[in-house]
Structure 1
Amino acid sequence: MSKTRVAVGMSGGVDSSVAALLLQQQGYEVVGVTLRVLPDVDGAFDAENDPSVVRARAIAEKLGIEHHVANCSDAFTGEVLKRCHADFSHARTPNPCCYCNRFIKFGWMMDYAKSLGADFLATGHYVRIEEVNGVRRLLRGRDPGKDQSYFLFWVPDERRNHVLTPLGTYVKSEVREIAEQNGFVNAKTGDSQDICFDIYGSQYTEFLKDRFGEMTRPGRFVDEKGKVWNTHDGFHKYTVGQRKGLGVAIGVPAFVKHVDPETGDILVTGDKSSVCFDRVEMVNCEWHGGAREVGTTFRAEGMVRYRQRAVGCEITIVDTNKAVAVFDEPLFAVTPGQCAVFYDGDMVLGGGQIV
């Protein structure tokens, strides 16, 4: 009887490496896949010597498994980079990890895994996927400091049915210990989170502008009385709730309250409470465990940014794509473009993109 074949997305980091080891120990036939996501600008990517590829290949050789480098740069450009560019152009602050998980890791890479004959795709995410009432559901990982369920809310049910996440019941220290015990070369390396943007440094918005064209305009910092306090050279550099780096001295700490993409003006305020909102509107919603009927209302706990404390709320389904959440208390810096994700205990119910 042949073993169940699993493709593991191997970034070269310790998490995905240990995920591959654990699955192999559980009796699966494991094959490693390392994605080339970024377009090769000025020879920036060298498949033979790229550090992530080298580390992933070394682990694959140690485990005695196949290893493939898959070029998904075109898909990444269209589904992640261009979406981020469009968000910035409309004064939204995108969450590239949520885009990447939905369209690339559990979209493109899952299709690639199937082309290799894999029955499942596995990753090193710290989340649990468990059967609840006969349905495979997404739950928070055991390690509260590493839980990544927020970033996976957009992965549809039909995709999640073919996903394994062996690290969901581990904490990070245990994963590093396993790596060290097995002599992995990356046992003490830093996390590879957001590695797809590291090659361009922290100014990836400038990379987006250079590649896809202008996405912003200069403007003014103005207060709620219309007084102009300063100017800026591009609104894409600022986000709701931002306090540092504004170059605005109004006598008290200033916060960004609103960004107007039409005029380029940025509304600032010294009243932090005015940047807190209890009503959140969402589009591009994804609900787990079946569709939600339009007009239905239900209770949940929600968060509008990663690692924020979950707060009780009431959600109303407006249509198949839209929903509104009213929170029990105001939340700071509800930011257009970011994602609101909702839970029932540890179980993810779904969420959407904030407008």
Structure 2
Amino acid sequence: VDDPGYSYAILRKGIDPRKDQSYFLFSLRQPQLRRALTPLGRMTKPEIRKIAHSLGLKIADKIDSQEICFVPGNDYKAFLRSHLGDNEFHRGEIYDVDGNFVGEHDGIELFTIGQRKGLPGGSPRPRYVADLDPETNRVIVGDAEHLVCDEFVIDRVNWHPVAGIGLSAVASAKADDPGRSFEATVKIRYNHPGTVATVTPLEHDRARVRLHEPQRAVTPGQAAVIYDDDIVLGGGWICRRAFCHPERSGAESRDLATLP
């Protein structure tokens, strides 16, 4: 794109939604994007297979990789154990969202937000991992509704020039100035279809994301990527959020890190 006195590269979604990689590429900056070539972005996987067949390539019918392609059997726990060793895991305790002790665990690295399997202690209803506290190695579990989130903050944000957000403008903006906010589509994980949100740029390369429809399992450490239709505006990394019990609000909200 050529603006008066300035030109920049734009990152768009690929036309094949099942194979689009823009979610992973949001952190590329202009020096990388200007030199990047994406020849498959305008083609679907069946079209690529057809070309491979015409060239007689043996991989033309190779099965698509799923999950983490370099982890045998998608067993990431076994993968971590084989590379780290049991002594490198950070053991700790498990609490429910009300601060009740549930049990102990063999390593916080073995849990993910939204996980249901492998949780100790009997319960009359399904329980899920609602939060992970790396400072205390505590795993917090709760009901399905405790996975739902409608607001979070992202940090280390990389704004693309097409977003029109200058560093000086962000630095001078107030954190909750509605005039600085804009609506966009936000993806909170690779296979997420995207949801409408109000995004507010903050100081120190951060932004607040308010989801118009609450989403399940918004996971700290995952990328949240911001789109205008098929154009990537920017993105950042989801921070640990303040936890709000579904029947509480305002002053009754609790940060999971404050559990006993």
**TM-score, structure 2 length as denominator?**
0.76
Cα gap change, 1:314 to 1:255, in 2 (>3 Å): same
* Equivalent residues of 1:221, 1:228 under 8 A apart: yes
Which residue is 2:158 aligned to? 286
Q: Which moved more, 1:193-202 or 1:235-244?
A: 193-202
The amino acid of 1:162's aligned partner reads R
Which residue is 1:113 aligned to? none
Deviation string for 1:87-136 (max 9, x for gaps)? xxxxxxxxxxxxxxxxxxxxxxxxxxxxxxxxxxxxxxxxxxxx586632
Deviation string for 1:120-167 (max 9, x for gaps)? xxxxxxxxxxx5866321111111111111111111122111111111
Which residue is 1:276 aligned to? 148
The amino acid of 1:283's aligned partner reads D
Cα gap change, 1:310 to 1:132, in 2 (>3 Å): farther
Which residue is 2:54 aligned to? 181
Which residue is 1:345 aligned to? 229
Which residue is 1:112 aligned to? none
The amino acid of 1:252's aligned partner reads R
Cα gap change, 1:158 to 1:309, in 2 (>3 Å): same
Q: Secondary structure at the match of 1:302?
A: strand
- Cα RMSD between the aligned structures? 2.5
Cα gap change, 1:226 to 1:201, in 2 (>3 Å): closer
Q: Secondary structure at the match of 2:41?
A: coil
Cα gap change, 1:258 to 1:344, in 2 (>3 Å): same
The amino acid of 2:101's aligned partner reads V
Gaps of at least 5 residues in structure 1 are 1-130
Deviation string for 1:209-260 (max 9, x for gaps)? 349x83x422222223333333210111112211123244311110111122
Q: Trace 1:258-269 onto structure 2 (pairs within 5 A).
A: 258-269=131-142
Alpha-carbon shift at residue 201 of structure 1 (Å): 6.4
* Equivalent residues of 1:230, 1:248 under 8 A apart: yes
In 1, Cα distance between equivalents of 2:12 and 2:152: 23
Cα gap change, 1:234 to 1:164, in 2 (>3 Å): same
In 2, Cα distance between equivalents of 1:343 and 1:225: 36
Gaps of at least 5 residues in structure 2 are 174-179, 240-260
The amino acid of 2:150's aligned partner reads D
Match of 1:249 among 108, 112, 122: 122
In 2, Cα distance between equivalents of 1:277 and 1:145: 25
Alpha-carbon shift at residue 262 of structure 1 (Å): 3.2
Q: Trace 1:79-98 onto structure 2 (pairs within 5 A).
A: none
